[in-house]
Amino acid sequence: MKKKAGLKARVAMLDFDNTITRHDTIDSLLERFSMDDQWIILEKLWKNRKIGSRVCLEGQIKGIRITRRELKRYLGGIKLDPYFKKLIRLLRSKKIRPVIVTDNFDIFVAEILRRHNVGRIPVYSNKVSMVQNRLVPRFPLTNKECGTCANCKKRKLLSHRTKYGKIIYIGDGLSDLCASKHADMVFAKGSLIRHCLEEGLEHVPFKNLKDVCDYFERSGS
């Protein structure tokens, strides 16, 4: 993907689960609070590309039973990659705007970032509300023309083309693939590496955000 002529501003779009966090927070939530194993079936269907992430997540989240106190305690135990804050400082020092794009949910992400004293970063996510001990998901960022993904990360990335000359994408899995195809530079970990190799996408592999920090420190720009 070529840079847009005349634009010098840069943006880095980061996935949340297993990229910013140390593990997939939704999967762990499902393991602990799902009523049954239906979420596992949905997960397998999604990974095999039989269903989209919206259908998968909607079914999985609706199968959770959790109190507000349990949810707060769970979110309080989530750990971030220890180099996340350094990466944000480093990006900003290089005039690269960080944003988060995630299939996670607004109140979950906000609470996790708040507990770790992370300053304001734009977050594009799904939404969820609580009704008694049930979670009710909503997907305002679904692409109606496609309807497959819960949060259309590709559309969000493309919407930044009018403002940014270079778009960097940092992610770890299948939900990051569509956006990665349209980024100028991709940092990939986990299964996203395999998907990039299968699609012939250039990428920089990383194990954790320290690797990404090291890259930008070496680049000098």
pLDDT at position 113 is 97
Model pTM?
A: 0.92
Across residues 116-121, what is the average pLDDT? 93
pLDDT digits (tens, 9 = 90+) for 23-61: 999 999 999 999 999 999 999 999 898 999 999 999 999
- How far apart are alpha carbons 24 and 46 in whole angstroms? 15
Are the CB atoms for 26 and 66 separated by under 8 Å? no
State yes or no: pLDDT of 81 exceeds 50.
yes
pLDDT bracket for residue 219 (50, 70, 90): confident
pLDDT digits (tens, 9 = 90+) for 143-174: 877 767 899 999 999 999 999 999 999 999 98
pLDDT at position 2 is 47
pLDDT bracket for residue 21 (50, 70, 90): very high
State yes or no: pLDDT of 10 exceeds 50.
yes
Are the CB atoms for 29 and 64 separated by under 8 Å? yes
Across residues 189-207, what is the average pLDDT? 96
How many angstroms separate the Cα of 122 from the Cα of each of 14, 98, 101, 212?
10, 8, 9, 20
Round the average pLDDT of the chain to a whole number and report it.
93
- CATH code of the domain occupying 10-219: 3.40.50.1000
CB atoms within 10 A of CB 113: 20
State yes or no: pLDDT of 1 exceeds 90.
no
Nearest residue to 126 (alpha-carbon basis) of 181, 76, 58: 58
Backbone angles phi, psi at 125, to 5 degrees: -145, 175
Ranges of each domain in the chain = 10-219
Cα 46 off chain centre by: 16
pLDDT bracket for residue 221 (50, 70, 90): low
